[in-house]
Amino acid sequence: MSTYRRMISFDSTAYRRQLNTRAYSTLLVGLFWMVVYVVYNPTFTFLHLTTNEFQYKGMVAKAVYLCTAGVVARAAYYTAWKMSEGACVLAGLGFDGLDDSGSVRWMDISNVHISSVELGTSIRELIDGWNIGTNTWLRHHVYLRIMSQSTKHVPPSSSTAATVMTFLVSAWWHGFYPGYYLTFVIAALVSSAARTLRRNLNPLVTQTNSPNAKFAYNIAGWALSKYTLDFVVSPFMVLTLPLSLNAWRNNYFSVPIAVVLIHLSFNVLGGSQYIRKHLAAKYASAKM
């Protein structure tokens, strides 16, 4: 509160100009996404994923449509969050005092990092950039609390179990449509599978020391993360169980199948152990 009072007491034109520039540039971002939503929402909708017309599209056409519909649907959220962020900035709520050089510091009060959601190369990056306030609350008051509930008589929860419970709390908070629970349960399992995949593949890519391999890895991570995100949120957008399952069926149940395959490959069939032994052998031979 004292920081806010200092901000509103400033008479400096330079400070006010910085505040106005920050606020109105954020407003323009919101207006841009409003235009995207208004123009493209009639054409790209998640309900179209449940139709017979969509069912007979090719695999690539389905993936492109799904990801485009995801961007358009998120545009409505970007609009609301960026406009409210601009209003907060204009009121001075992002002001964080002055640094040593006398320049104004601004807090990050954004509830969404659009670049992380749209350009992130991992599921975690996408999740961390979305609905930041709610994510922070869920992490501190649900996930970390579950992970810390271990005593002599109660074993610690696994990260997967804690993730599922956290996502279920989020689903319950949203409401009782079946689509919410399908989305958040599969999102928890996807998050766990993505963590397993990254943990095993990152060392292999890093070991190559090849810029081309790292670039291809990041591009593949971006494309797969985007597709997975939009597949996962399909039930959230269509709400009912029959429509949710129909949307997933028309996209070949690809993400649930991939989650099962990742679990079997790395956790059941020993893929993780094989990769660790392979890396250890290469490291040992490199030291000779």
Query: Which residue in the block uniquely carries the two structure tokens 């790209």?
Result: 44
Determine whether 48 is an active site residue: no
Which of 41, 131, 135, 267 is flagged as catalytic?
Answer: 131
10 Å Cβ neighbour count for 223?
13
User: What's the Cα-to-Cα distance from 29 to each of 77, 109, 128, rounded to whole Å?
Assistant: 12, 15, 20
Determine whether 174 is an active site residue: yes
Contact criterion met (CB below 8 Å) for 185 and 171:
yes
What is d(CA 270, CA 204) in angstroms, rounded to the nearest whole number? 16
Contact criterion met (CB below 8 Å) for 177 and 240:
yes
Contact criterion met (CB below 8 Å) for 74 and 117:
yes
Contact criterion met (CB below 8 Å) for 244 and 235:
yes
What is d(CA 61, CA 45) in angstroms, rounded to the nearest whole number? 14
Q: At a CB cut-off of 8 Å and minimum separation 6, what does 68 contact?
A: 40, 44
Q: What is the CA radius of gyration of the chain?
A: 23
DSSP secondary structure letter of residue 96: E
Which of 174, 202, 218, 278 is flagged as catalytic?
Answer: 174
User: What's the Cα-to-Cα distance from 269 to each of 73, 265, 273, 284, rounded to whole Å?
Assistant: 39, 5, 9, 25
CA dihedral 165, 169, 174, 180 (to 10 degrees): 20
Give the residue numbers marked as catalytic: 131, 174
